């Protein structure tokens, strides 16, 4: 076990390997990760909150799904074949780019964690917080 990796990061890596999708999930690190996260954050977040949903620029729509696996509802916000940014709220944020269907599969393999999903074109934002809420922002709907 690497001293630089969190338990969550190791679990995510293992989930990706177990699902045999390592060639379908791009992991970002270093300056490239920091640059992309900064750009994504500029679109949706104010300041430096502990987790992004605490300080969103736009008022999100809030959804609560009363089912055992609410993360399966992600496909109602994005096309499951759509490429998205998948940001994991860990001590050091983790950044992946993959299809929505893979995001759902990865989440299904792991213990609970907070995450953000942002469309590749920066128009949609979805997160699941520690209150079992899905917070959704669609910038295309705000601008029409």
| Residue 2 counted as domain residue | no
Average pLDDT over residues 119-127: 95
For 8-33, b/e burial (b = at least 16 CB within 10 A) is bbebbbebbeeeebeeebebbeeeeb
Q: Which domain holds residue 12?
A: 7-142
With residue 116 as reference, give the H or E element that holds it: strand 115-119
| Residue 100 counted as domain residue | yes
What are 10-38's pLDDT values in tens digits?
Answer: 999 999 999 999 999 999 999 999 999 99
Number of structural domains in the chain = 1
What are 43-96's pLDDT values in tens digits?
Answer: 999 999 989 999 999 999 999 998 888 999 999 999 999 999 999 998 889 999
| Residue 28 counted as domain residue | yes
């Amino acid at each position: 076990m690497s001293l630089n990796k969190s338990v969550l990061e190791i679990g995510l890596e293992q989930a990706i390997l177990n699902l045999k999708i390592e060639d379908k999930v791009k992991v970002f690190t270093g300056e490239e990760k920091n640059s992309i996260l900064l750009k994504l954050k500029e679109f949706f977040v104010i300041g430096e909150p502990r987790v992004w949903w605490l300080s969103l620029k736009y008022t999100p729509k809030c959804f609560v799904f009363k089912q055992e696996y609410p993360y399966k509802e992600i496909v109602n916000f994005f096309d499951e074949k759509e490429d998205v940014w998948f940001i994991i709220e860990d001590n050091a944020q983790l950044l992946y780019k993959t299809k929505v269907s893979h995001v759902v599969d990865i989440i299904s393999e792991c213990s609970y964690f907070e995450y953000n999903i942002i469309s590749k074109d920066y128009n949609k934002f979805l997160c699941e917080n520690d209150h079992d809420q899905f917070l959704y922002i669609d910038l295309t709907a705000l601008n029409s």
